[in-house]
Chain A
Amino acid sequence: MAAFEEEMLAMLPRLRRFARSLARDGADADDLCQVTVEKALLARSSWQPGTRLDSWMYRIMRNSWIDTTRARSRAAETFVAAEAGEGVGDHGGAEARVVLGEVDAAMQALPDEQREAVALVLVEGLAYKEAAAILDIPMGTLTSRLVRGRQALMARLGELA
Chain B
Amino acid sequence: MTIGPEELMAYADDALDPLRARRVEAAIAADPALGAEVERHRALRRRLEARFAPIAAEPVPARLAALIPANVVALPPARRGPAWWQAAAAMAACLVAGVTIGRMVDRGPVGATSGGLYARGALARALDDQPGGATADGVRVALSFRDHAQAYCRVFAAPVADGIACRDQHGWALRRTMPGTTPRGGGDYAQAGSSDAELMAAAQDMMAGEALDAAGERAARARGWR
Contacts and interface: CB of A to CB of B under 8 A. Distances in A.
Interface of A: 1-2, 5, 8-9, 12-14, 16-17, 20-21, 30, 33-34, 37-41, 43, 45-49, 51, 55-56, 59-60, 63, 66-67, 70, 101, 103-104, 111-113, 118, 121-123, 125, 127-128, 132-141, 143-147, 150-151, 153-154, 157, 159-161
Nearest to B41: A150
Contact size range, B: 35 or more
Interface string B42-85: 01110111011101111011011101111110110100000000
Contacts of A60: 189
A49 B76 CA distance: 13
B148 interface: no
A138 B206 CA distance: 11
24 contacts: A2-B75, A5-B72, A13-B57, A16-B55, A34-B67, A39-B189, A46-B187, A46-B189, A63-B188, A66-B134, A67-B134, A111-B214, A118-B48, A122-B49, A127-B15, A128-B13, A132-B200, A135-B133, A138-B201, A138-B211, A147-B5, A147-B6, A150-B41, A161-B40
B191 A56 contact: yes
Interface string B193-209: 00011001101100100
Nearest to B46: A161
Given A1-B72, A133-B196, A161-B47, A138 B134 contact: no
Contact of B191 (A41, A46, A125): A46
Interface of B: 5-6, 9-10, 13, 15, 40-41, 43-45, 47-49, 51-53, 55-58, 60-61, 63-65, 67-72, 74-75, 77, 131, 133-135, 142-143, 155, 183, 186-192, 196-197, 200-201, 203-204, 207, 210-211, 213-215
A58 B211 CA distance: 22
A41 B189 CA distance: 11
A132 B110 CA distance: 29
A9 B68 contact: yes
Contacts of A49: 77
A145 B216 CA distance: 14
Contacts of A145: 213
Contact of B143 (A20, A128, A137, A147): A137
Nearest to B7: A143
B71 A1 contact: yes
A123 B10 CA distance: 16
A112 B55 contact: no
